[in-house]
Amino acid sequence: MNKKTIAIILAGGKGERAGGTVPKQFIEVAGKPLIVHAIERFSLGYIDGIIVVSLEKYIDKVKRMIEKYGIKRNIDIIPGDVTRQGSSFNGVNACPRDTAFVLIHDAARPFVEEKIIRDVLDAAMKYGVAIPVIETSDTAAFEKDGFVDDIPERGKLKRIQTPQGFSYETIHRAHRSAKEEGITDVTDDCGLVKRIGGKVRMIEGSILNIKLTDRYDIEISEKIIGSIRGKETA
């Protein structure tokens, strides 16, 4: 049986921090909605299928966008859940039976470079689970009652991005375990794997692969697209 690699793009959030009249995945940057940019990034020969997880009421809107922007891939669009974890589990459950690897990605990171997708997948194939990370430029602190409790060594802290790559069996087991134990709001899929004692390999992410969270991120996104195009055509 042919073993598949499936990309799951999570677009089931409401984008409350970004504000605006539609969730941030539908905001247009460089002439296209962010969700379309994200889908295009994963339209690659070695990705056998793309599943978009959407708020149920926007499924038809996503379908129309896919047609309007001429995306030729066959894309499944399925409903999300109230938490990111639930939306991710819906995506994992919607994968074809012969799925061997999944890449789970935030639609809110529409500028991921192809090299990161490839590196994450290669490392997931080798180690079972892999994530892109970047250094943190700010020092971070643990807080307690309004005071600094402790300051971890900055060099040991990494900022975690997506796409995160998993062997299908591992991520499915990690999701099932969290659900069975009533845990519903893990914000990150590799966190589910760590819960069950799994190993998570880190690869180098990119500062351009930002998660658009508030309206200021949206404002700088045209510039980010310009930088990526510059790099890719250099």
**136 counts as binding ligand CTP under rule CB under 6 A:** no
Residue type, 64: R
Q: How many residues bind to ligand CTP according to rule CB under 6 A?
A: 22
Closest CA to 13 of 28, 5, 24: 24
Contact pattern from residue 178 through residue 207 relative to ligand CTP, giving x for each residue in contact according to CB under 6 A and a dash for the rest? ------------------------------
182-213 residues labelled b (16+ CB within 10 A) or e (exposed): eeeebebbbbbbeeeebebeebebbebbbebe
- Is residue 84 within the footprint of ligand CTP (CB under 6 A)? yes
Q: Which residue is nearest to ligand CTP (CB)?
A: 13
Which range of residues in 14-22, 71-79, 123-131, 200-208 is near ligand CTP by CB under 6 A? Answer: 14-22
Q: List 204's β-bridge partners, or say none.
A: 133
Stretch that binds Mg ion, among 5-13, 72-80, 105-113, 117-125 (CB under 5 A): 5-13
Please answer whether residues 197 and 178 qualify as being in contact, where contact means their C-beta atoms are separated by less than 8 angstroms.
Answer: no
- What stretch of H or E contains 119? helix 114-127
Closest distance to ligand CTP from the beta carbon of 106 (Å): 4
As measured in angstroms, the least distance from the Cβ of 157 to ligand CTP is 20
Helix (H) or strand (E) holding 102: strand 99-106
The answer to the question of residue 37 lying near ligand CTP (CB under 6 A) is: no
Chain centroid to CA 54:
13
Tell me if 107 contacts ligand CTP by CB under 6 A.
yes
Closest to 194 (Cα-Cα) out of 117, 139, 129 = 129
Task: Name the burial class of residue 226, with classes exposed (0-12), middle (13-18) and buried (19+) by CB atoms within 10 angstroms of its CB.
Answer: exposed
User: Should residue 110 be labelled a site residue for ligand CTP when binding is judged by CB under 6 A?
Assistant: no
Binding piece for ligand CTP, criterion CB under 6 A, among 15-23, 63-71, 112-120, 142-150: 15-23
Q: Where are the beta strands (DSSP E) in 46-139?
A: 49-54, 75-79, 99-106, 129-135
Piece of 11-19, 112-120, 122-130, 169-177 that binds ligand CTP (CB under 6 A): 11-19
Residue type for position 112: V
Per CB under 6 A, the list member of 3, 17, 199, 229 interacting with ligand CTP is 17
Could you say which residues in the range 7-46 bind Mg ion, by CB under 5 A? 13
**Interacting residues toward ligand CTP by CB under 6 A:** 10-17, 23, 25, 53, 80-84, 87, 106-108, 211, 213
